Structure 1
Amino acid sequence: MKYSEISHFSHPQHKLRFEYSEFPFKCDGCNEVGIGSRYKCSICDFDLHMHCALPSSQICHPFYPKCSFQFLSRPPGDIPRFCNACEKDVSGFVYHCKSCGFDLHPCCAKLPMMLDDGEVKLYLYRKVSSPCHRCGRKGRSWSYRSSCKKYNLHVACVREMLVESWHEIYVGRSKGRKLENGIPSLKNTLQSSHNSKSKGKVRKCCEMGALAVQIVISAVLGDPTALIAGIIGSLMSRA
């Protein structure tokens, strides 16, 4: 559900308006990067992901059928916590299961179980035995895997790419650059785990996997739309 204007407990002084922008932003709810759809205060520099602005008070997730996740405005307790989907620290809004102690970022909790752009279908798995195209490792965090089972990308690896390039994102925004110049560079993302292959095979593999990567990144950023995926793909073609 989407509203053009909302009041939010995390920013009671002003109302937040829905907008769609190609500029990257840092969500003031979960403290993670976002692109595209957001709720923004027109007076303050305050932004929220859609999933952070309109959270569910309680959710269940198919990966954890015995768990009940409650929405919290801050992580519980005093010890550092991490998201069980992407392995990244939790420092803001979170879905927390009190009985098992699992935590999920709001955008990770709402990751689609399937992504489909008409050409590539990717399915979300809790763990995959095949190596990730980014790091070459097996297992680890949640992963998106293509229906042909040839392409796999850890959600954790996508988060790491965003963290590594956050300075570039923020500087790009402050200088008024377009999104194409502000989101993380994806150069060598797919090549990293294929160093032993011939150049021809690497190129073919990377071209076929490029759509998979851009779709996953747009989903992790909180906006799995064709527009955002297309812009990311444009950047990848120039990398």
Structure 2
Amino acid sequence: MKYGELSHFSHPQHQLRFEYSELPFKCDGCREVGIGSRFKCSICDFDLHKQCAAAATATAPVLRHPFYRKCFFHFLPRPPGDSPRYCNACGRDVAGFVYHCRSCGFDLHPCCAALPHVLEADGGLRLYLHRRAAAPCHRCGRKGRSWSYRTECKKYNLHVACVTEMLVDSWHELYYGGGGGKKVLMTGNRIPSIRGAGMSHHRSVKGKVKRCCEVAAMAVQFVISAVLGDPTAVIAGVIASFISR
């Protein structure tokens, strides 16, 4: 096996090669969107998040998470049972690879399980991951809905679920099922704009609105990178429509 290549049980036909691309993709492991780093089979157009590839090949069979100290999460290639399941981090359905706690019934997408607990943005802005946040989300205006990222000053809060919805709403037509289940890219843009990113729910006084939106825009950019499975991804231009003029 060459450096940067991976043999994976979910795609035994070919080796997967590590690559970085700013073209969005749909992970064939967890079935969620991604961007940036991935393991890819260029022959079959098969993609895996780094986290999904690592989850299935991890030497440790059990994942522990500080938000659920009593839980033991086991990797499963598909959700257990016949009932619909959802990720306890982002609230989205579990349709593929998952970490599942057999005793509690909690589920985590591999990328959600790997979300950094601290994001450091430019200008010294820091965002901290919380299981429950008391402050309203800057986008939806609600409080406890999913895991959230909150700034150190506690003024800006963003649900992981809201960021995920923004991505899915913008990219749901990006791929469609072609012959033989092959995915077909529907857009020529390298980085599609995020539909609905301009929607925000804040109560800043008039003189502070612009600064509020600028800080929140920066926060959204870094949360998007983390949710997509690549916290180091540079997603230029994605957030331009978010900043109020």
Q: Which has the higher helix share?
A: 1
Counterpart check, 1:28 vs 2:28: yes
RMSD of the alignment, in Å? Answer: 2.1
Distance of 1:235 and 1:40 partners within structure 2: 31
Assess, with a 3 A threshold, how the Cα gap between structure 1 residues 238 and 20 changes in structure 2: closer, same or farther: farther
Distance of 1:188 and 1:28 partners within structure 2: 30
1:176 corresponds, among 175, 180, 188, to 188
Q: How do 1:47-196 residues align onto structure 2 when only pairs under 5 Å count?
A: 47-55=47-55, 56=58, 57-119=61-123, 120-170=125-175, 173-179=185-191, 182-189=192-199, 191=200, 193-194=201-202
Assess, with a 3 A threshold, how the Cα gap between structure 1 residues 198 and 173 changes in structure 2: closer, same or farther: farther
CA offsets per residue over residues 4-60 of structure 1, 9 Å max, x none? 000100000011000000100000000000000000002001100000111133210
Q: Matched residue of 1:165: which SS?
A: helix
Distance of 2:160 and 2:234 partners within structure 1: 20
| Deviation (angstroms), 1:175 | 3.6
Distance of 1:184 and 1:170 partners within structure 2: 16
| Deviation (angstroms), 1:73 | 0.1
- Whether the 8 Å contact between 2:193 and 2:237 is mirrored in structure 1 is no
In structure 1, the residue matched to 2:238 is 232
Higher deviation after alignment, 202-211 or 102-111:
202-211
1:222 corresponds, among 223, 229, 244, to 229
**Number of matched residues?**
231
Q: Matched residue of 2:38: which SS?
A: strand
Unaligned runs of 5+ in 1: none
CA offsets per residue over residues 165-222 of structure 1, 9 Å max, x none? 123544894343221xx24235323x3x13x655543222101221111100110010
Assess, with a 3 A threshold, how the Cα gap between structure 1 residues 114 and 206 changes in structure 2: closer, same or farther: same
TM-score (norm 1): 0.89
- Whether the 8 Å contact between 2:145 and 2:159 is mirrored in structure 1 is yes
Aligned residue identity for 2:82: D
Unaligned runs of 5+ in 2: 177-183
- Whether the 8 Å contact between 2:35 and 2:230 is mirrored in structure 1 is yes
| Deviation (angstroms), 1:118 | 4.0
Counterpart check, 1:7 vs 2:7: yes
Higher deviation after alignment, 52-61 or 22-31:
52-61
- Whether the 8 Å contact between 1:87 and 1:141 is mirrored in structure 2 is yes
| Deviation (angstroms), 1:68 | 0.6
Q: Matched residue of 2:238: which SS?
A: helix
Q: Matched residue of 2:112: which SS?
A: helix
Assess, with a 3 A threshold, how the Cα gap between structure 1 residues 19 and 237 changes in structure 2: closer, same or farther: farther
